[in-house]
Structure 1
Amino acid sequence: MFFYLNGKGVDIVARNKKNCVYGPLNGRERKRKAYRLRRDMAWYHRLQPTIHHQCNEDESLYKNKIASFSKALPHNSLGEVELEAYDFFTKALKRGTPADFEAIPLGGDVKIANPQASYCYDLIGSDCHAQALPIPPTFSSAWQAGEMAELYWKALTRDINFEDYDNHPLTIEAAEELSNLSDFRGPKLNSAVTTGTLFRGDTPADLDGPYISQFLYKDIPFGSTIISQRYRTTLANADHMTSFDEWLNVQNGGSSTSSQKDDTSRYIRNGRDLAEYVHVDFSCQAPLSACLILNSWGRDALTETNPYLKSATQGGFVTFGSPHILDLVTKVTRLALEAAWFHKFLVHRKLRPEEFGGRVHNHVTKAKNYPIHSELLDSKVLSKIYDKYGTYLLPMSYPEGCPIHPAYPAGHATIAGAGVTVLKAFFNEGFIIPDAVRSSSDGLSLVPYSTTPLTIGGELNKLAANISLGRDFAGVHWRSDGIEGIKLGEAVAIEMLSDYKETYNEDFTGFTLTKFDGSEITIS
């Protein structure tokens, strides 16, 4: 028998031939069940409440758009965006017409990063417009001042090794000043920022052990070879955009001088090393590497809900084995980015820290008056920045500064949150990581760490924080971008796992995992 499908000839086995397919359903029944499965999933998502997304309203409050992302558009001599260009930008976002995006005027050769991804659809998990985010800090708030003060301190302490935080005068002073700010929301002990909590994330077990996650130190099994996690970094004091002319050129889409690379690869030992890791990594590198490490630890590292742990005759592979986990930890990456891009472009359009640094410089030098909170203007760190660099701009680790898309939420953070959530669903969070390590002071070797037992769950949480807040060491993101981005990625992953839960034949009770807020859930 022969018929045409979409213009192409397709042979069908004659009806009088024996059907060689085993299974409880015949072909027609299987098609019906597959259709019902997709229909029911779509209907479930259709019935979820419509979210009324809210922003901090800075864009409408400040008519000169000083609180809105505008990098790569043309700017005036103060670094304020030309309003006609910004109007073209927002018109394109409102209409969603490809031709409108082609009409956006640019200030240089750098292009805006994929704003039309904000409108895309996917066929698994929730729609990228269906996840809520809290309202980010407002331009003039004490909260924003606290986050900017932390970024200035991170810039000043990039080259201090994490192992030296307890004793270095700059990190001690940073912890003291951040403790005294009225609305700084980083982790604290007894209501104070300490050198042990400084610049860390706020997930469970994030304060345990070395600053860097074991999943950024352990060797990565990669097929028939082993990848050592020593990476190329940049030399100390390689900071950029500290002169106003250089800063303005980059805001207009111009280029900057490149950083000189260290000839020696090193384990991550300080903020500069971590910033460079998340500068050149590919999208799912950290979760994928963690997955490869976890797979090498055998059955004991798997979660007890894996249906094949108790099977006497079968082992997991295509389902509940390494191909399954590797697929989901990479698949969830784009879903997370889709959700992030929706919020970045269509809801918040929040300015980047480097843009805010230009506002600070103009205000303090009296070139323009901006509503910046007094706690930042009166901070010790601002004086230290000026003493070292001669301006009040935020020193950047990357020559090009931030990417050409808005700040909130951080893309790296949503990927990390999503990937880590998938890994927690498949692996035993309480499993003690064998032979824990930390970096030597020169980053050339690993040395044993035995002070506190480190678990899979805790070190996965720390991995998410490292990847998201590591971008803050470069100066390209706010703390809130990372913290809320991680949670957004988690929500995306949970919806994806919920959909896939319905597709397995095994006797499976569901995915159980601990969320970043410490609560335990079962996706059943």
Structure 2
Amino acid sequence: MEEKKIYYHKEKGCLIAPKTGWKRMKAAFCIRLMSAASHLLVPPKEHSCNGDEQLPGKIGSYSKGLPHNSLGEVVSEAYEQYMEALKSGNPEDFESIPMGGKVKLSNPQASYVYDLIGPDCHQLNLSKPPAFSSALEVGEMAELYWQALTRDIPFRAYESDPLIAEAAGDLSGFSDFRGPKDNGKVTPETLFRSEFPGNLTGPYLSQFLWKDIPFGSAVIPQKYRTALAGSDHMTSYEEWLDIQNGSLPRESIKDPVPRYIRNGRDLGEYVHYDFSFQCPLSACLILLSYGPEALDRNNPYLKSATQGGFITFGAAHILDMVTKAGRMALEASWFQKFLVHRRLRPEEFGGRVHNHMNGAAKYPIHSELLESEALSKVFSKYGSYLLPMAYPEGCPTHPAYPAGHACIAGAGVTILKAFFNESFVIPDPVEASLDGLSLLPYPGKPLTAGGELNKLGVNISLGRDTAGVHWRSDGIEGLKLGEAVAIGLLRDYSSSFNEHFNGFTLTKFDGKKVTII
């Protein structure tokens, strides 16, 4: 019987791309390899610190959540075990750290994480924070006392409020206070702001914290839950010490009426409950609603007669990059926090000031703070020298420097400045009413997207200062670190596009223009 032969015909594939199969795979591999190699060619960074960890009793180092003595100084054996865990990176060692109460440390093992894009978080530099005994440190602490004292004053009332004028005058007397000044003096117009481009123009708050947020088919008015005026915490020594030892806090007193952010307390509450990349995400959605005119002039689809951007150079692309940059910025922040600086939080410094002033201990605190109007004002109002906190729990359980919120904001703002036109004028600018129940037209100078994005970053970072949980330098330097993360991310992606693209161009926080190719 004749055997039947079966013939199989190999059909041609349907793929019509210019590079297919191994050719495409090799091209993808080369792009990834070149990106990785570019980071490997950069010499390892040196990371210096301010030396505060050598102070006796670890008085200049973060230790919240560990057990403390009656002065609020950390138990040395507990701190040593904490340090051993950080040095080893062994997950089991972290489970052996003695804790003072029920509150846990916030994710110290994130300090060791690797990412597959952008610069490695251990390869980004940060300047040293102010030292415990420096004039710079107490200038920042005096600002925090004043931010606590003025939390309930509306931003719109700053120019006429006598307490705001008193704060500006007192801060002007500090020899190394580095907030913005006018002719060498802090003024109500410069108070609690920054010198970054756009920060001294227009209302205190960025338009991106007031404008309605387009959210799919919905629109979200930016009215938020806040706390009642005068709702301050940790002003008694017993409460302060319990919180340092990791005790659970009492509940805060909430305002039942949602409001537009109108003062420092409202801003502090916004950055109390926001999710990690909320502020740059909201700003992105607002900017996208303005259409092509708001896009960066380098966007390759602005000149196309047949195509529009979407997955590349469109909404999906920008939104993805904003969120991606946020987590990467936190990685860089956590490395610096736990493995380099371990800077104490302002509430911890406030405990040192209180015990020094009461004679319970003698600490090397610069005399400019001890003789300041800020300190006497706080004692007169609260009966202690502790820093009045906006949050019942005080600061989070991770070190101060740099501020995680600032790093995320810096990264997100930088991504947005790369994709959008920084010169675009924000239409119909607004500002909150004195009671925060409505928005009013702002009739002043034009406000640009670039300036308002810079202002947004500063609002988010210094908003945490208003709550008492961070120092000015935590925020300002954190913004710069987030910016570096975003620039590295953009650089790694710049070789992955098919479009004719001239690179991302943006203005850094220091005012310098850069092009990323």
TM range (shorter): over 0.9
Give the match for residue 215 of structure 1.
208
> Which of 278, 282, 285 is matched with 2:275 structurally?
282
Give the match for residue 420 of structure 2.
427
Q: Please state how far the C-alpha of 1:260 moved relative to its aligned partner.
A: 1.2
Secondary structure of 2:226's match?
Answer: coil
Give the match for residue 413 of structure 1.
406
Give the match for residue 53 of structure 2.
59
Deviation per residue, 1:152-199 (Å, 9 max, x gap): 000000000011111111110000011111000001111111000000
> Which of 463, 486, 489 is matched with 1:496 structurally?
489
Secondary structure of 1:264's match?
Answer: strand
Give the match for residue 3 of structure 2.
none
Secondary structure of 1:513's match?
Answer: strand
In the superposition, relative to structure 1, how do residues 85 and 424 fare at CA in structure 2: closer, same or farther (>3 Å)?
same
Write the distance in 1 (CA, Å) between the matches of 2:20 and 2:107.
Answer: 45
Give the match for residue 303 of structure 1.
296
Write the distance in 2 (CA, Å) between the matches of 1:420 and 1:370.
Answer: 39
Secondary structure of 2:44's match?
Answer: coil
> Which of 9, 13, 22 is matched with 1:28 structurally?
22
Deviation per residue, 1:370-412 (Å, 9 max, x gap): 0000000000111110111010000000000000000000000
Q: Please state how far the C-alpha of 1:450 moved relative to its aligned partner.
A: 1.6
Write the distance in 2 (CA, Å) between the matches of 1:324 and 1:335.
Answer: 17
Write the distance in 1 (CA, Å) between the matches of 2:469 and 2:301.
Answer: 44
Q: How many residues align?
A: 510
One-letter amino acid matched to 2:208:
F
One-letter amino acid matched to 2:316:
P
> Which of 368, 378, 397 is matched with 2:361 structurally?
368
- Asked if 1:237 is matched to 2:230, the reply is yes
Give the match for residue 9 of structure 1.
none
Secondary structure of 2:225's match?
Answer: coil
> Which of 164, 187, 193 is matched with 2:157 structurally?
164
Deviation per residue, 1:88-114 (Å, 9 max, x gap): 001100010001000000000000000
Checking the alignment, whether the CA contact within 8 Å between 1:201 and 1:469 is kept in structure 2 is no
The 5 A counterparts of 1:98-497 are: 98-497=91-490
Write the distance in 1 (CA, Å) between the matches of 2:248 and 2:355.
Answer: 22
When normalised by structure 2's length, the TM-score is 0.98
Write the distance in 1 (CA, Å) between the matches of 2:152 and 2:496.
Answer: 49
Secondary structure of 2:363's match?
Answer: coil
- Asked if 1:516 is matched to 2:509, the reply is yes
Checking the alignment, whether the CA contact within 8 Å between 1:241 and 1:396 is kept in structure 2 is yes
One-letter amino acid matched to 2:111:
S
- Asked if 1:43 is matched to 2:51, the reply is no
Deviation per residue, 1:5-32 (Å, 9 max, x gap): xxxxxxxxx9923111011112110000
One-letter amino acid matched to 1:252:
N
Secondary structure of 2:455's match?
Answer: helix
Secondary structure of 1:233's match?
Answer: strand
Q: Please state how far the C-alpha of 1:498 moved relative to its aligned partner.
A: 0.2
- Asked if 1:97 is matched to 2:98, the reply is no
Write the distance in 2 (CA, Å) between the matches of 1:264 and 1:202.
Answer: 34
- Asked if 1:18 is matched to 2:12, the reply is yes
One-letter amino acid matched to 1:521:
V
Question: RMSD across aligned C-alpha pairs, in angstroms?
Answer: 0.8
Secondary structure of 1:308's match?
Answer: helix
Write the distance in 1 (CA, Å) between the matches of 2:286 and 2:444.
Answer: 22
One-letter amino acid matched to 2:49:
C
Write the distance in 2 (CA, Å) between the matches of 1:307 and 1:74.
Answer: 57
Write the distance in 1 (CA, Å) between the matches of 2:134 and 2:346.
Answer: 14
Identity %: 66
Write the distance in 2 (CA, Å) between the matches of 1:183 and 1:248.
Answer: 30
Secondary structure of 1:371's match?
Answer: coil
Give the match for residue 78 of structure 1.
71
Deviation per residue, 1:252-308 (Å, 9 max, x gap): 000222211111110000000000000000000000000000000001000100000
When normalised by structure 1's length, the TM-score is 0.97
Q: Which runs of 5+ in 1 are unaligned?
A: 1-13
